Amino acid sequence: MCGCRSRQGDRDLKVFANMLSGKTEFEYSEVPFAFCVRFIRQESYCTPLILLFEMNRNITQAEVAKRHPTEKRWMDCAEVDARPFLHYLQYLTYGGLGERDKQLHALGVFESYMLDLRNMLHMYHVETSLNLLGHCYEMEGNVNAALHYYQQSLLQGATNNPANWHVRRVSSLLSY
C-alpha cells in the first residue's frame, strides 16, 4: 500500500473484513502487504545516494509545471516499494561485506522479482525500482544493462522521472 499513489480497490475496507480467521480468536491470517518506504528531505543523510535523485527528479521547469497538485506533496520525497528496496539493500549489504556470491545471488533475485509481471502489477513505484536495479548493474560495471533498466523506467513515465538524469549520466560513460 502506498500513501501517495493509489490503485483501484486498495482502499476497500472489505480487504480487511475478509481476512481469514486463524487458529485462535486473536490470530488472523492476512494477505501480506507492506507500505512503501518514504524518505523525506530531512532524512537525506540516511537515504541511499541513488534515491537522492528522486528528490530532485525534474530536469526542466516545464516538468515542474506539469506536476499535478496532489503530486506536489510527495514529489520532493523519495518513495520506493518495500520489497524491491529490500532486494536493493541486500545487494548493497552483501557487497559491503565482501560476500560476492551472495551479492550476485541477491542481484539475480532482484532482477527476477522485477521481471515477474505478477509483481509489477502490485507495485506503486515501478520506475523507482527499475532505477534501483539499473544502479545495481551500474555498480557491476554493466553499463548497457544499467542503461536498459533506466530506459525501462522512462517507459513507465518520462516526466519527473530521475531516470532522465541516469540515462544522460550513463550514456556519457558509453561515449568514452
Q: Of 89, 82, 159, nearest to 125 (Cα)?
A: 82
Q: For residue 127, what pLDDT is reported?
A: 93
Domains of the chain and any CATH numbers:
14-174 (1.25.40.10)
Q: Cα separations (Å) of 84 from 2, 21, 24, 56, 174?
A: 14, 29, 33, 21, 27
- Distance from C-alpha of 153 to C-alpha of 160, rounded to nearest angstrom: 11
Show the cell assigned to 1. Answer: 500500500
pLDDT tens per residue, range 53-112: 887 766 566 666 666 666 556 567 888 999 999 999 999 999 999 999 999 999 999 999
pLDDT tens per residue, range 2-59: 545 455 555 555 554 554 444 445 555 455 567 888 888 888 888 888 888 887 766 5
Pick from 95-109, 125-139, 155-169: least confident: 155-169
- Distance from C-alpha of 28 to C-alpha of 21, rounded to nearest angstrom: 5
Q: 122: which residues sit within 8 A by CB, 6+ positions away? A: none
Average pLDDT over residues 158-166: 85
Enter the pTM of the model.
0.77
